Amino acid sequence: MEFKKSPDGGWGWVIVAVSFFTQFLCYGSPLAVGVLYVEWLDAFGEGKGKTAWVGSLASGVGLLASPVCSVCVSSFGARPVTIFSGFMVAGGLMLSSFAPNIYFLFFSYGIVVGLGCGLLYTATVTITCQYFDSRRGLALGLISTGSSVGLFIYAALQRMLIEFYGLDGCLLIVGALALNILACGSLMRPLQTSGCPLPEKTAMENIPDKYSIYNEKEKNLEENINILDKNYSSEEKCKNTLTNGDWKQEILFYKTSSSMAHTKEPETYKKKVAEQTYFCKQFAKRKWQLYKVYCGETVSLFKNKVFAALFIAIFLFDIGGFPPSLLMEDVARSSNVKEEEFVMPLISILGIMTAVGKLLLGILADFKWINTLYLYVATLIMMGLALCAIPFAKSYVTLAVLSGIMGFLTGNWSIFPYVTTKTVGIEKLAHAYGILMFFAGLGNSLGPPIVGWFYDWTQTYDIAFYFSGFCVLLGGFILLLTSLPCWAACNKQLPKPSPTTFLYKVASNV
């Protein structure tokens, strides 16, 4: 099926608007979960490590399930997936207001809301890519700011709602707001197919011809029919099996014909079953062939030393760099910062500076004289130093400055596709990016609980953030060492495509 040419405007700008609000509504609460984290600590009295699992699952599950999300959007379309996921996010938030313990929140907030966010992200990116071609980079840049704006607004909104309505009332209201995703999804009109529909193909013809090469000799239909003859010893057995199938014409013929029909029905049925058996064997072997090709490509990716270092760096960065967005509010409370000093929630500062970082770092990556790989390494090293400085911050002003710095450096997500493309090449980008995002989700899921366990063990965040800073610094230095010119033989420099091309390919395959 071929879609019409991307209009690059028109209804596409409506798609951009509703995709922006979709990401705003679905990611606002999970990214600003640090406000809720403090309340959950007081409500359930669990350790900081165990409580941190709620927010880490909400952020990590969507990335871990990104392959499943892509399959769902490809199979059902962006509009149905968005509407269904809107129910998931809203239902998960409302269900969390009735949570009797922290384990219930693991499911309702961590898994249900997290999976819904992952589906919505894939759906919004996919339909935006369908509507835009030459302006795709601009469109994707606009919708990606929805999550950062959501973090900025929801951090203050959830704190205000908790003061007026309590934790349960806050979750109910935020869940009700998430129902607006359904209205956004209803406006995601899919592009119509171009021209006349193609003629129907048989089941065997629907499988691409390029996957039809096998060395093993296949059984033909006559051999399959002979095998079936041995299995059906009586006409009555065949008749009982026939009535359970979906062969409407044979059943009608059985009811209206004479005794001659009783002899022809088994033969027709056996032939159809033989054809289906032959098709299933072919289909299974072709799927196995695709699986072998996928594994071979994965192994070849990890033979690239810079890609292996990038995989380590992104994993360690998410283990150490994600916890501040969840724990900064509790860090301020542990440092005895008075609530009267809070001019703005620290989570809000993180959110707005992340949006600024995405834009400015993306602009820097456009300059030809800047090596995006070294720029990414620089953000990792500075992030590690900022994390190590958190234990020395004992006032709201210093914590706010560090939050702004870390938020800006977290915006390096906007240049990560550039780095991946330069490392593996544009033709392997989709495969490599999927692997890296899976491990990024794993790091998101593990980071906050590890930091929380350090606090439970030492009763201070000092060692926890030293550990986080060490992880990020280690990943940055590993990536720096493997990308130095002395490794040129292992990492051939590829010509740098235009930055817009990177955004097109990455966003269309997330």
Question: What pLDDT score was predicted for residue 294?
Answer: 66
pLDDT for the residue numbered 273: 65
Verdict on whether the full-model pTM lies above 0.75: no
Query: To the nearest whole number, what is the mean pLDDT of the chain?
Result: 76
Q: How many CA atoms lie within 13 A of 68 on its CB side?
A: 11
Token reading at 65: 């399930």
User: What is the pLDDT, as a whole number, of residue 170?
Assistant: 94
Please give the average per-residue pLDDT across 161-176, as a whole number: 93
Q: How far is Cα 419 from Cα 376, in angstroms, rounded to an integer?
A: 8
Number of other residues whose CB lies within 10 A of the CB of residue 175 = 20
pLDDT of residue 223: 52
Question: So what's the pLDDT on residue 371?
Answer: 85
Neighbours of 389 (CB within 10 A): 16
Lowest mean pLDDT among 336-340, 450-454, 469-473: 336-340
Q: How far apart are CA 362 and CA 392, in angstroms?
A: 31
317/464 Cα distance (integer angstroms): 14
Give domain 282-489's CATH number out of 2.60.40.10, 3.40.50.300, 1.20.1250.20, 2.30.30.240.
Answer: 1.20.1250.20
pLDDT at 239: 45
CATH 3.40.50.2300 corresponds to the domain 1-190? no
Nearest CA among 420, 421, 426, 431 for reference residue 294: 431
Quote the pLDDT of residue 432.
74
Give the pLDDT of residue 208.
43
**Cα separation, 49 vs 35, whole angstroms:** 16
Tell me whether the CATH fold assigned to 1-190 matches the one assigned to 282-489: yes
Kindly state the tokens that stand for 148: 């950062």
pLDDT given at position 216: 41
> What percent of the chain stands above pLDDT 70?
72
pLDDT at 102: 92
Give Dmax (Cα) for the chain.
Answer: 94
Compare 163 and 322 and report the one with higher pLDDT.
Answer: 163
Contact residues for 453 (Cβ-Cβ < 8 A; gap 6+):
47, 48, 49
Residue ranges of the domains in the chain?
A: 1-190, 282-489
| pLDDT of 499 strictly over 70 | no
Give the residue, 380 or 278, on which the prediction is more confident: 380
Give CA angle at 475 (347, 498), nearest 5°: 80
What six digits make up the tokens of 275? Answer: 């054809």
The residue ranking higher by pLDDT, 402 or 292, is: 402
So what's the pLDDT on residue 186? 92
Q: Does position 94 have pLDDT exceeding 90, yes or no?
A: yes
What does the pLDDT read at residue 86? 94
pLDDT digits (tens, 9 = 90+) for 379-432: 999 999 999 999 888 888 899 999 999 989 988 877 777 777 778 775 676 667
Count Cα neighbours of 335 within 13 Å in the Cβ-side half-sphere. Answer: 22
pLDDT recorded at residue 243: 47
Nearest 10 degrees: CA dihedral of 152, 499, 383, 472? 120
Of 305, 286, 293, 312, give the one whose Cα is nearest residue 380. 312
* pLDDT value, residue 466: 92
136-142 average pLDDT score: 69
More confident residue, 404 or 128: 404
Specify the pLDDT at position 436: 80
| CB of 58 closer than 8 Å to CB of 114 | yes
Question: What local confidence, expressed as pLDDT, does residue 405 receive?
Answer: 93
Task: Tell me phi and psi for residue 258, to 5 degrees.
Answer: -90, -170
Q: How far apart are CA 268 and CA 239, in angstroms?
A: 12
Tell me the C-alpha distance between 314 and 377, whole Å: 11
Report pLDDT for 355: 82
More confident residue, 334 or 386: 386
Amino acid letter, 422: K
Q: pLDDT tens digits, residue range 229-248?
A: 544 444 444 445 444 444 44
Confidence of residue 68 (pLDDT cuts 50, 70, 90): confident
The CB density around residue 387, as the number of other CB atoms within 10 Å, is: 27
Q: Considering only CA atoms, which of 34, 3, 6, 4 is closest in space to residue 324?
A: 34
**Total count of residues recorded for the chain:** 510
